[in-house]
Amino acid sequence: MQLNFPVSEPCQWQPPEHYSLTSFQRDWLLAEGSLTKKLKQHCRQFRVQLIGQRPAPIFDSEFDLFKRHHTRVPFEASVREVLLYCDDKPWVFARSLFPLSALRHKNLNLSGLGDSSLGQSLFDQPDLLRSPFEVAQLPDNHAVARLNHQLFGHSQNLWGRRSLFLTGGQRVLVSEIFLSPLPFYESRASHSLNPEESGHE
């Protein structure tokens, strides 16, 4: 499927405590290890489809995580969007961004990833640090939810997570949106909203 790049649009990221998450949801949204490795445990064949990668404007909430080392103007980042497939079905939409200076980081090979896994490259770094997760629930009219509808024929809210990776003096922001086929949605409580909406403390 040919997709117009970039696909994504801003969404409301929150600390995980904002939501009433089940243990099953937390096992996916807050898993510290490589999502690529976790996906491979659930399928026989894993692959990455590159939607696009090039310098592009970034969202305000994304810049907020980079502003310690950059001023707003000029600040240009390379944006990378991919679909992660398990057994020929896209399970995850991922959006990554990094300053153009990170393209010169030899070990990460960010300029030559193509259809290879960024996650695998990151977790191979011995000095890798990761920020706490933020979580979002995307409404069914969000661009990625519309893509999910296009792929699977039904509308639903989608869950996602993001975190910032630090390695070799560089920052890489990775956002991962879980699509319909992911086992995450097998939980009956997977559509719970924030505590005020769900009635839980």
Q: Which residues participate in the annotated binding site for substrate?
A: 80, 118, 176
Peptide bond into 15 cis (omega under 30): no
If 0-12 CB within 10 Å is exposed, 13-18 middle and 19+ buried, where does residue 167 land? buried
Torsion of CA 131, 137, 138, 139, to 10 degrees: -160
Torsion of CA 192, 196, 200, 201, to 10 degrees: 130
Annotated binding site: 80, 118, 176
User: Are residues 109 and 193 in contact, defined by beta-carbon separation less than 8 angstroms?
Assistant: no
